[in-house]
A and B are shown apart, each in its own frame.
Chain A
Amino acid sequence: MSGAAAGMGEGVTGRLSRRGRWLSFLTKLGVFVMLMLLWHAVTVTEIVSPFFLPQPGAVMTVFWRILSSGRAWPDVSVTFFEFAVAGPLAVVTGIFGGYLISMTRYSTIVLEPVVSSLYAIPIIIFYPISIMALGIGPESKIAHGALFGFFPICLNTIQGFSGVDAIYLRMARSTGATKAQLLRRILIPAAAPTILNGVRLGLMLCFLAIIGGETIASLEGLGHRIVWYAEGMQMTNMFAYIVFVILIAAVMNICLSLLELRRRGA
């Protein structure tokens, strides 16, 4: 570790040397290639039973088939329908609730700890209640997803609005700004980055909560399909669907992050 001694003075975030950067890149690539080769080797030689771990090539083939044949469509449409209802619900209630709470300093002091304590509860424990009350269909997933997404959005909205510098507000008021102007010109622009960060987090959590709800108890949807293949011991199909869902989540995350970045740049 000669790099360690050299880098000591500037901590771990300093720039690597040219050779170091190359080595770093090669190592990253190497780790990935080695893992793939290892996966391939243990499955081809059947050191690990194909019942436990399918071959990577087979998984990729099935994955392409899922993409090209559109056979995942029924599950995708169910999951996305649930998300399309639960996501906006979480955003609207979260922002509105957060705005109401942060209207005055006093209500923020009183209510913020209540909301953040509730956020500490793993919301998944309420899922049996929503199954019981709303049934095993999409309704219970929508309720669960919306509840999961609500908290980070609400908390970030509170943080965003209450974190606005008092000087801006005083200045706007002293120059005779109306309430609406205050909201549009000062509060919203100042709070937007924090709120958008909460929206991104909330929407991701909402999506994952829906998948989780489908995994635990459902008759349809992407989460259910993974479990369905797992219980049928169709490992190749299961892995392909896992890759599919992970990719959807990654694409969503990237899109939401881009939205956030663009807003910040504007």
Chain B
Amino acid sequence: MSATGARLPPPWVARLCVIICLLILWEVLGRMGTALFFSPFSKVVMTGHQIFFDAEVRQALLTTGWVLALAFALSLILGLVLGLAIAMSKFTYQTFLPVLLLLYAIPQITILPLFVLYFGTGPASKIAFGVSHGLFPVAVSVIAGVQGIKPILLTSAASMGATRGQIFRRITLPYLVPSLFTGMRLASTAALLGVLLAELYASAGGVGHFTRRFSETFQPDKLYALIGALALMAIALNEATRRLERRFSKWR
């Protein structure tokens, strides 16, 4: 960008400065509020990090981790199957896509208590709720991917005598990869949101349980440390899937 000018620092330096400014702001605000609710950045780093040496907290992070992994994997598989089934033919597409979009439009948060009633307060309800968030983005992206295949490719393949199986393997699947990665990125954030929502609502283990415990016992440094770690994990997960997405959609 020529507009950046010669005297301005490169964007990443400026970005770093912005982040440092935000942390300083946190430090100042944290010192201004009462120690009961607020904790400055330095204190969170100095004393809050101790929670990661606590076996229970580690266990909770592990629990949330595998619940999320399972919810993500299930969303991916079910979303892919559902998306391919709907995009299988013109008829299924035009019949079931509106049904899927209608279901997608239902705010899942309203039925969170149902998940807990049906699946209990254990990991099952978190996985199910995570899947309910992650499933739709995958299915919709897969359908959008199939929709975007150039008709001429299908026609020419069919005219050269390709079977349905061959068309699926040679055209549909490769064309699906970029949108599948888009779906994966959206699903990972959505599933994380679902899992954390369910954990905050009712859980005996997992990260949600500890955020609740730390906030109810007024230990803001520990609470902020846990939340900060989760936030960093979420950013890393998003960045990783975004890189993958960019890499796999280059060929098109």
Contact = CB atoms under 8 A, between A and B. Distances in A.
Interface of A: 1, 3-4, 7-14, 16, 20-21, 23-24, 27-28, 31, 52, 104-106, 109-111, 113-114, 117-118, 120-122, 124-129, 131-133, 208, 211-212, 215-216, 223, 226-227, 230-231, 238, 242, 245-246, 249-250, 253
B1 A125 contact: no
B218 A132 contact: yes
A28 B101 CA distance: 13
B231 A125 contact: yes
A246 B230 contact: no
Interface string B212-238: 101100101001100100110011011
7 contacts: A106-B14, A111-B18, A120-B239, A124-B196, A124-B200, A132-B223, A249-B107
B238 to A, nearest CB: 4
B227 A125 contact: yes
Given A106-B11, A124-B197, A246 B110 contact: yes
A133 B37 CA distance: 6
Interface string B136-153: 000000000011010100
Interface of B: 1, 3-5, 8, 11, 14-15, 18-19, 33, 37-38, 87-91, 93-95, 98-99, 105-107, 109-114, 116-118, 146-147, 149, 151, 154-155, 158, 164, 167, 189, 192-193, 196-197, 200-201, 211-212, 214-215, 218, 220, 223-224, 227, 230-231, 234-235, 237-239
Contact of B155 (A9, A52, A126, A226): A9
Given A128-B212, A231-B113, 9 more contacts: A4-B90, A9-B158, A16-B94, A24-B94, A117-B235, A121-B231, A121-B234, A129-B220, A208-B107
Nearest to A208: B107
A105 B147 CA distance: 35
Given A28-B99, A117-B238, A122-B189, A1 B196 contact: no
Nearest to A12: B93
Give the interface SS of chain A, mostly helix, strand, loop or mixed.
helix
B215 A129 contact: yes
B88 to A, nearest CB: 7
Given A110-B14, A216-B201, A245 B110 contact: yes
A14 B200 CA distance: 45
Contacts of B95: 23-24, 27-28
A178 B4 CA distance: 23
A132 B220 contact: yes
B246 to A, nearest CB: 14
Interface centre among B89, B149, B151, B214 (most CB of A within 10 A): B89
A163 to B, nearest CB: 15
Interface centre among B38, B95, B105 (most CB of A within 10 A): B95
Contacts of B230: 121-122, 125
Contacts of A21: 94
B22 to A, nearest CB: 8
Contacts of B224: 129
A227 B99 contact: no
Given A27-B95, A110-B14, A223-B109, A133 B238 contact: no
A132 B111 CA distance: 25
A13 B94 CA distance: 8
A23 B112 CA distance: 35
Contacts of A7: 89-91
Contacts of B110: 211, 223, 226, 242, 245-246, 249
Contacts of B158: 8-9
Contacts of B98: 28
A122 B111 contact: no
A124 B149 CA distance: 37
Contacts of A208: 107, 109
B197 A216 contact: yes
Given A110-B18, A120-B189, A128 B1 contact: no
Contacts of B106: 246, 249
Nearest to B148: A11
B33 A133 contact: yes
Contacts of A249: 105-107, 110
Contact of B235 (A1, A121, A226): A121
9 A-B pairs with least C-beta separation: A120-B238, A230-B113, A4-B89, A7-B90, A12-B93, A105-B3, A9-B155, A24-B95, A128-B215
Nearest to B191: A122
B87 A12 contact: yes
A112 B3 CA distance: 16
Nearest to B22: A114
Nearest to B207: A125
